[in-house]
Amino acid sequence: LVLVNGAGKDSFERFIDVTPEMWARIIDINLTGTFHVTQTVLPDMIEAKWGRIVNISSSSAQTGAVMMAPYSASKGGMIALTKTLALELGPLGITVNTIPPGAIDTPMSRRAASEGRFGGGTLEDVGRHLPVKRIGIPEDIAAACAYLVSDEAGYVTGQIIGVNGGRVT
């Protein structure tokens, strides 16, 4: 049984302007949603004595991001949850890892770029500043997920597998 927790909602507000309602909405979608879905599938994984969980966090959780406190905090919570669940579930045959993507060509990233959230530049501008000189594509994340959910990754758990073009080293 395989679970990839990939829900993500961003927000761009100065921390001082973040309302408790805005904070709760981002945490609910990005972190509490992961909690609920994971709890739902765990009984079947435990019964099977095998499972793979991959949580899609964010490189913003590793570096921080201006005007993204709720988002970065929620994705940082996913990293901590991943490490905790890896310790708890490993003896049951279940691995838990996280992929914190960097700039990936998605509708959410395109919208943020069009709103000037990347310093007024395009996603391609962001990519030119990365060691690999390009932004990522969804297939980059899918390839890492495919490995982490495979039998070959049975000895990999509690890990942060950065797929970020070298943004976070």
Active site residues: 71
Provide the token pair at 169. Answer: 């080293």
Phi, psi torsion values for 5, nearest 5 degrees: -90, 105
Extended beta strands in 8-158, E state = 51-56, 94-99
Sheet with 2-5, side-by-side order of all strands: 2-5, 51-56, 94-99
Q: Report the sign of the C-alpha dihedral through residues 131, 133, 136, 140, in that order.
A: negative
Reduced to 3 states (helix: H, G, I; strand: E, B; else coil), residue 73 is helix
Hey, how many other C-beta atoms are within 10 angstroms of the C-beta on 86? 19
Closest CA to 99 of 155, 73, 138: 138
Q: Which residue has the tokens 């992929």?
A: 99
